[in-house]
């Protein structure tokens, strides 16, 4: 492994000249703002996060305001970012901080790490960037920098590789300016030591980087082992009433799109027909639209939208579980469902020669 003694000094010197210091969550850099940004930035690019972060801060400017807000309000300000468990965990953690810690952030890693949705790296970021404490981090950008600099092979998601990376991160994190150092490492990975075509000529670590010297930047970090992504199939009913409202069901609080309002889903036509029959909805014309695919982190969802019209009085919504909603103003829809409904609305006046009309039995 290259000598580690000068590592943090070179990283901090680079940060002072080239690091990002004007991102919204850095002005000011508080533990609350660092926390929200770190959660939003998981699996999401900075450019995408910025407008969401600004709107979120506008609505929930403080830990207390987030803790006291209805969870549906939190989810509505998250809609479009995906991975909705992040938003539910934000709300739960804010309530725990408010109730158990008097609205203040604990200063020990274990307590912060134990909060809902906060892992070891996020806890380290909150403590170092938000509170000025020494704490190591290991997000995707930092993993890439360390794997290449130290020549660490193996997929970073494997237990042994992750342990080696954490040990190295802990060793290299300085006692002074820990927050700036961690921000610098994230910036270095995001802007210089990028996944493809890294700008090695601009890197302060080039002189003793194992990957650079061995022409290994294209193979380090080692990629995740390939596996076949499973595919799930379903039908989604787009049931519209005479006022243009869509019938929606609230999804369970946990799982995919947890807590959001979405279209009723069915495994097959038999299940759909049974649902229509049980709710005394008969004689409706079902228009099938082309299949659509939405990819989650661990599977593909292929679904066929089936359009139908009925009178809202034919089926009474259940309080809190189902309702007739205006799709143009509903803010707690999963992003792919919101896109689908917007496209259907736009195409309402255009004939679709590819539709297949399926009459239900009376």
Q: Which two tokens stand for residue 99?
A: 């109730």
Query: What are the C-alpha distances in Å from 91 to residues 63, 94, 120, 295?
Result: 9, 5, 19, 25
- Model confidence at 108: pLDDT above 50: yes
Provide the percentage of residues in the chain whose pLDDT is more than 70.
Answer: 93
**Cα dihedral across residues 100, 106, 111, 112: positive or negative:** positive
Per-residue pLDDT, 353: 44
Selected catalytic residue, list 6, 38, 330, 348: 38
- Residues 20-60 have pLDDT tens digits of 999 999 999 999 999 999 999 998 999 999 999 999 999 99
Pick 172 or 350 by higher pLDDT.
172
Neighbours of 275 (CB within 10 A): 13
What is the spatial distance between Cα 90 and Cα 71, in angstroms, rounded to a whole number?
A: 10
Per-residue pLDDT, 2: 63
What is the spatial distance between Cα 318 and Cα 324, in angstroms, rounded to a whole number?
A: 10
Closest CA relative to residue 146, chosen from 177, 167, 169: 169
Supply the pTM of this predicted model: 0.80
- Model confidence at 358: pLDDT above 90: no
**Burial (0-12, 13-18, 19+ Cβ within 10 Å), 324:** middle
Per-residue pLDDT, 280: 79
Phi, psi at 22, each rounded to 5°: -125, 25
Closest CA relative to residue 84, chosen from 39, 50, 48, 146: 39
DSSP-based helix, strand, coil % in the chain, nearest 5: 45, 10, 45
Work out the average pLDDT over 80-87: 91
Provide the percentage of residues in the chain whose pLDDT is more than 90.
Answer: 78
Element (H, E) at 213: helix 210-213
Tell me which DSSP letter residue 207 carries.
G
**Chain-wide mean pLDDT for the chain?**
92
Per-residue pLDDT, 1: 59
Domain locations in the chain? Answer: 7-213, 231-359
- 221 preceded by cis ω (within 30°)? yes
What is the spatial distance between Cα 292 and Cα 112, in angstroms, rounded to a whole number?
A: 40
Per-residue pLDDT, 281: 82
- Residues 190-233 have pLDDT tens digits of 999 999 999 999 999 999 999 999 999 999 999 999 888 999 99
Let me know: does 213 contact 168? Beta carbons within 8 Å. no
What is the number of H-type helices and E-type strands within the chain?
15, 9
Query: What are the C-alpha distances in Å from 306 to residues 75, 187, 325?
Result: 26, 46, 17
Closest CA relative to residue 184, chosen from 141, 127, 152: 141
Specify whether 38 is catalytic: yes
CA-atom Rg of the chain in angstroms: 25
**Burial (0-12, 13-18, 19+ Cβ within 10 Å), 304:** middle
Tell me which DSSP letter residue 318 carries.
P
Per-residue pLDDT, 243: 87
CATH architecture of the domain formed by 7-213: Orthogonal Bundle (1.10)
Topology (CATH) of 231-359: Nucleoside Triphosphate Pyrophosphohydrolase (3.90.79)
Hey, which bits of 271-310 come out as E strands? Answer: 285-288, 292-295, 300-309
């Amino acid at each position: 492994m290259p000598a580690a003694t000068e590592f943090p000094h070179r990283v901090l010197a680079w940060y002072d000249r080239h690091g990002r210091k004007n991102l919204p969550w850095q002005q000011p850099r508080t533990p609350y703002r660092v926390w929200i940004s770190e959660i939003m930035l998981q699996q999401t690019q900075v450019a995408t996060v910025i407008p969401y972060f600004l709107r979120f801060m506008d609505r929930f400017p403080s830990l207390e305001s987030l803790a006291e807000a209805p969870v549906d309000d939190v989810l509505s300000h998250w809609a479009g970012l995906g991975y909705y468990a992040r938003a539910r965990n934000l709300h739960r953690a804010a309530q725990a901080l408010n109730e158990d810690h008097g609205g203040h952030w604990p200063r020990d890693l274990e307590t912060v790490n134990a909060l809902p949705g906060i892992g070891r790296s996020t806890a380290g970021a909150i403590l170092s960037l938000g509170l000025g404490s020494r704490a190591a981090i290991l997000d995707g950008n930092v993993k890439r920098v360390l794997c290449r600099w130290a020549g660490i092979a193996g997929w970073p998601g494997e237990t042994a590789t992750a342990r080696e990376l954490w040990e190295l991160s802990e060793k290299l994190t300085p006692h002074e300016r820990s927050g700036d150092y961690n921000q610098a490492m994230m910036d270095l990975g995001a802007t210089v030591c990028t996944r493809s075509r890294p700008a090695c000529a601009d890197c302060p670590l080039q002189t003793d980087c194992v990957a650079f010297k061995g022409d290994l930047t294209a193979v380090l970090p080692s990629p995740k082992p390939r596996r076949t992504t499973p595919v799930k199939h379903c039908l989604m009913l787009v049931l519209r009433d005479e006022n243009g409202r869509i019938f929606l069901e609230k999804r369970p609080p946990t799982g995919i799109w947890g807590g959001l309002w979405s279209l009723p889903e069915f495994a097959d036509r038999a299940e759909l027909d049974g649902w229509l029959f049980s709710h005394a909805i008969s004689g409706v014309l079902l228009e099938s639209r082309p299949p659509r695919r939405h990819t989650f982190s661990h599977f593909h969802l292929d679904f066929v939208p089936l359009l139908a019209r009925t009178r809202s009085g034919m089926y009474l919504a259940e309080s809190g579980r189902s309702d007739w909603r205006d799709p143009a103003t509903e803010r707690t829809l999963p992003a792919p469902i919101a896109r689908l409904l917007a496209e259907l609305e736009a195409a309402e006046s255009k004939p679709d020669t590819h539709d297949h009309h399926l009459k239900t039995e009376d």
